[in-house]
Chain A
């Protein structure tokens, strides 16, 4: 009933190849005589198909070779934001990165995203990231009695913040930011994206509360426009542009 390549390998067979993954492991339990927290590289070889993603290769390792390999994943098609990781030195979602697009002739390196405490293998502590998101008050603020029907908003006003509504909180942008890596205080690009989504929403009245927060020394002025965040975003959000719009609002005093 399903469309699988295995059913009739001779017709329409999907190209198959061998790929090596070089994974940065982190052992929190201290097994095999290691100190708890030891980091080490480990290589795995897996058979892959042309349609396989890095997540498929990680599953092949976990399910067939080493069940202790730990990583987060859920939806497996780029909408839940669980599996951001550093693949060949670039932040990406493992479920959205096809192996064939990575030059499978060479080992593919896989590391946890940088700048957040590593908990085990590719799993990091997301709490500092979510704390920054909470800090910018990411919820609609509107005064007065709620209207009986919906608040009206023109398609043009709706379009103004469309790009930043796409954020899935995967942390690929924030953990690609060189300022975030070295500065423990910086909110990071995602928090600014999260704020942008409300600052430029015509229904919201909390824009100056948020802009005030982002005007802080841990805020938007830390950005050095390295563009790493925009390149890292798996949703194609123009993060650097959003940050620039927030900076402009602060300098001009107009939203």
Chain B
């Protein structure tokens, strides 16, 4: 075992982690731990754009953006956080440009902007051009630019270090309200050697991304297994609003690979088997550019009512054939190549088969607007921060608007990095790591190694497959008490079977077999939290749609779910939504 000591440890090297690192490393001794290489992070897969009311191509302002974010989130957004997101958006884009990000340009040489779902002029009058973009590779450019700046600043990375435990001083659930619970460090498993490392740190920033792999059909990377959320849950911290998962309307049918909403922003149209532009019925004003939850539900509904396309009538079509090939090549080069490579479809002349794909966790580790992690509705854990998809500030509420996530990682990644460094430099020393800090991780690794050639008969891949299938079947776009009970029962059974898994790799170096077993452990626990939240929320709001409770219930549910793992099982609590000046109203587009 090797011991390390830093002022700030950042876990995860996607957009939020590296944006935090750029701030933190200027102010304090900082290490960034990532289970991949930084440039492999899933920020790089984001396509369409980053929202900011620059008003470079038409009239726009941060207040309109704030309103759209809150309405798009079906009024579950914490409004103070949304105001910060949308106000700081402008500098966030300009900062990236100054770092060298190659945005597309207007003829006047300014950052170009385009339309995206749910972003409107003057509180819903018409779609507005707010998304700053670089072709359909905006996330790639952000990830590369941030990595390049990290190279310039000589940020210290620990690549392929998989953080598996968070060490706190004090029990976050047993501590009384107002008592201090502080971070002491993290424990990581080095993939190349199998060695366990402890990192003592005054501040820790979680920026570990999402958990899309709880679902079968997903746009998410294989590595997005909710590790940060799972670690926080095991450490006794709550998870907020985990029932809200975004299903992106346009995944490549059967594969789930993302085709950016920019396709519709640039004029693409969704059609059913009758060739009808069905979104005209669901959102008469902005049609195909309605928020993602509405479009995904409309697509699923068309399929359910028999108007799906293909031999199994199980998808709809994204039609780009009326767009000029030159326009497609300039604005949507990557996604049209995905259609060609993976489905053999030529988007110039043929419509592309699409269906909703699990895309984004609106919920996560609860934080305040300074990215400090909450251990209950009001108390923070000293020195612990979270930003990006792992976190729930909550700026996305019940449904995130497209282009607001690349914004979120930049705004709150920056805030987390500054706050973490300032806290670390303001205290002499944080809590010491206990002598047995590594014991939980060492125990986990040892017991998994001992399953090789043991009596276990269950395979990790089989359990994961069954988990993902039940989540797609029962906890996707449409949910009912029955479907959730079925999913809960399946997951309970899978968790029991997980106790009897056997891994097959006996080696210590690059034991990715062991890694996948650990990841599955997180996925199973997070699936239970998603189901518990979905069961507890007996209304329909944003991405969470209950067929047995099909309307929004503001009287009872203008609240966030807060789910805790306790020795007696999951415990659910509620946290009121922060409302500043936008009263809930009916959500029509």
Contacts and interface: CB of A to CB of B under 8 A. Distances in A.
A150 B98 CA distance: 7
Contacts of B223: 74
A68 to B, nearest CB: 4
A28 B254 contact: no
A3 B315 contact: yes
Given A2-B216, A7-B312, A152 B108 contact: yes
Contacts of A71: 512
B293 to A, nearest CB: 15
Given A51-B342, A165-B141, A2 B355 contact: yes
Interface in B53-81: none
Given A11-B312, A12-B311, A31-B507, A153 B42 contact: no
B486 interface: no
Interface residues of A, number: 70
B222 A74 contact: yes
B268 interface: no
Interface stretch (B32-40, B182-190, B320-328, B573-581): B32-40
Interface string B310-350: 11101100000000000000000010001001110000000
Contacts of B353: 3
A126 B37 contact: yes
A166 B98 CA distance: 19
A75 B221 contact: yes
A82 B159 CA distance: 13
Given A67-B504, A151-B98, A169-B39, A76 B513 contact: no
Nearest to B358: A2
Interface string B501-531: 0011111111111000000000000000000
Contacts of B343: 51
Interface string B454-484: 0000011110000000001100111000000
Contact of A70 (B36, B257, B473, B510): B510
A128 B547 CA distance: 55
- Residue among B137, B141, B473 with the most chain A CB within 10 A? B137
A172 to B, nearest CB: 14
A134 B312 CA distance: 50
- Residue among B106, B137, B507 with the most chain A CB within 10 A? B507
B431 interface: no
- Residue among A4, A12, A80, A120 with the most chain B CB within 10 A? A80
> For this complex, into which size category does the number of interface residues on chain B fall?
35 or more
Contacts of A152: 105, 108-110
A138 B148 contact: yes
A119 B509 CA distance: 8
B204 interface: no
A5 B102 contact: no
A51 to B, nearest CB: 7
Given A79-B44, A126-B37, A51 B255 contact: yes
B17 to A, nearest CB: 15
Contact of A73 (B222, B334, B473): B222
A75 B45 CA distance: 7
Contacts of A76: 221-222, 257
B570 interface: no
Interface in A146-205: 146-147, 149-155, 158, 161-162, 165-169, 198, 201, 203-204
14 contacts: A4-B254, A11-B311, A29-B506, A51-B343, A67-B513, A74-B42, A75-B221, A76-B222, A79-B45, A123-B510, A138-B148, A139-B149, A147-B98, A168-B140
For the complex of A and B, the 3 pairs showing the least CB-CB separation, nearest first, are: A12-B311, A140-B100, A67-B504
Interface of A: 1-5, 7-8, 11-12, 27-29, 31, 51, 59, 62-64, 66-68, 70-82, 96, 98, 119-121, 123, 126, 130, 133-134, 137-140, 142, 146-147, 149-155, 158, 161-162, 165-169, 198, 201, 203-204
Given A67-B504, A74-B223, A119-B192, 15 more contacts: A3-B253, A7-B312, A7-B314, A12-B311, A27-B507, A29-B506, A29-B509, A76-B221, A130-B37, A151-B97, A155-B104, A158-B102, A158-B103, A165-B141, A201-B100
